[in-house]
Amino acid sequence: MALYQILEFPDARLRTVAKPVEEVNDDVRHIIDNMFETMYHAKGIGLAATQVNIHQRIIVMDVSEDKDQPYVLINPQYTPIDSDTEMMQEGCLSVPEYYADVKRHLRVNLKALDRDGNPYEMEADGLLAHCIQHEVDHLDGKLFVDYLSTMKRNRVRKLMEKRQRELVRQA
């Protein structure tokens, strides 16, 4: 397995809308395995293929404390179960070291394919529901900073650009 490079905001490739996976095969499973390795290495709880410059509708996530409940979501679709929402602090591997409160649906119904291409459906709430919505946004070219005011989003952009300049200087 290999670690992928995670794209960071404001990289324009993060705005690419991912295409549906046509066939779940060994190539897709290889991507999934590398995505899990990348996510766990980066200490994340979710990773969308868009974040590693692969523009297919693939998500991996594991919101468990012990990192022993991995989920694979291929071609995911969700619908809110009701209109209840909650604010939760979100972070993102593509926006390192920045957190903000984002309002999302409290409960969602998810339909997706697993790593073998089998369809499944589940209800999710709390952190798992937030993570599903956050990662599906990535597949649609949207970031959690898009939910912030223009002023806050511009401040985050400047912080990330400064961070990237400092990383280049250190290299």
Q: Domain for residue 117, yes or no? A: yes
For 56-106, strand residue ranges (E) read: 58-61, 71-80, 85-92, 95-105
Q: Is residue 59 part of a domain?
A: yes
pLDDT in tens, 40-83: 999 999 999 999 999 999 999 999 999 999 999 999 999 999 99
Would 40 be classed as within a structural domain?
A: yes
In a domain, 49, yes or no: yes
Domain annotation covers residue 2:
no
Q: Number of folded domains in the chain?
A: 1
Which residues are documented as binding site for Fe cation?
92, 134, 138
**Domain presence at residue 30:** yes
Q: Is the pLDDT of residue 1 over 80?
A: no
Q: Is residue 72 part of a domain?
A: yes
Structural domain containing residue 70: 12-170
Report whether pLDDT(128) > 80.
yes
Of the pLDDT bands very low, low, confident and very high (cuts 50, 70, 90), residue 168 is confident
Which neighbouring-strand residues pair with 58?
A: 74
87: its two tokens = 């604010």
Q: Where residue 126 falls among pLDDT bands split at 50, 70, 90?
A: very high
Catalytic annotation, residues: 135
Tokens, residue 119: 């369809």
The CATH code of the domain that includes 78 is: 3.90.45.10
Which residue positions form the known binding site?
92, 134, 138
